[in-house]
Amino acid sequence: MMKPELVIAIYGAVVATLVAIWNAYTWRRSNHLHLTGYTSGDMEFDYHGAMQAGVDPETRFVALCISNRGHVPCTVNTVWLLSYPSWWAYLRRKHKASIAVLRPMSERFGCAVPYKLERAGEFRAIALQNEKLEEMSRSSRLCMAISHSMSKYPFRVRVHPIAERKAAPTDARAKAA
């Protein structure tokens, strides 16, 4: 039969070990950057907003929104569009095409780079959506990505395939109908 002192000592050792592991886990998690993001394809300005920003109301954009849910700030350095030919290439981080978004902002929506992303802060960027970008979204795995100061790998967010726009009828077709 075990002595009560030995049972209490074993119980204390197990509890102390679990507390030490939990403290190490929470300390490690609290000092990291935790980014979450989403993209919105086929976005357009409302008419009033487009006129304020000096943009054609028919122009479409792809938007990226990143929020920092960690406890440390980081600096957003670059915004990219990365195209991966397959799922396997995406996992290996081997893109076939990359496009740097040089001005990922507008007066009304977005942030200039480099941008200091504080904890609980938000970073927004927009890229002009043209035929090439629409085709890339349909033919490959297209991602918007940011390069930031806390990792050597970019933070990637998938841009889902953008549906083809129906062409407006020309004058000849409109007269025939």
Residue 41 has pLDDT above 70, yes or no: no
Tell me the CATH number of domain 33-159, given options 3.40.50, 2.30.30, 2.60.40, 1.10.3470: 2.60.40
Q: pTM for the complete prediction?
A: 0.68
Average pLDDT over residues 23-43: 72
Q: What is the mean pLDDT of the chain?
A: 81
**Amino acid identity of 163?**
A
Domain coordinates in residue numbering, the chain:
33-159
Q: What is the pLDDT of residues 43-98, one digit of tens each?
A: 666 655 555 666 676 778 888 888 888 778 889 899 999 999 999 999 999 999 99
| CB-based contact 102:125 (threshold 8 Å) | no
Mean pLDDT of 96-117: 77
pLDDT of residue 176: 55
pLDDT over 90 percentage in the chain: 26
3-state secondary structure of 85: coil
- Average pLDDT rounded to a whole number, residues 125-133: 85
> Comparing C-alpha atoms, which of 104, 113, 108 is closest to residue 48?
108
| pLDDT recorded at residue 70 | 78
Task: Report the alpha-carbon distance of residue 80 to residue 93 in Å, rounded.
Answer: 13
Query: Is the per-residue pLDDT at 118 higher than 60?
Result: yes
pLDDT tier, 124 (very low <50, low <70, confident <90, very high otherwise): confident
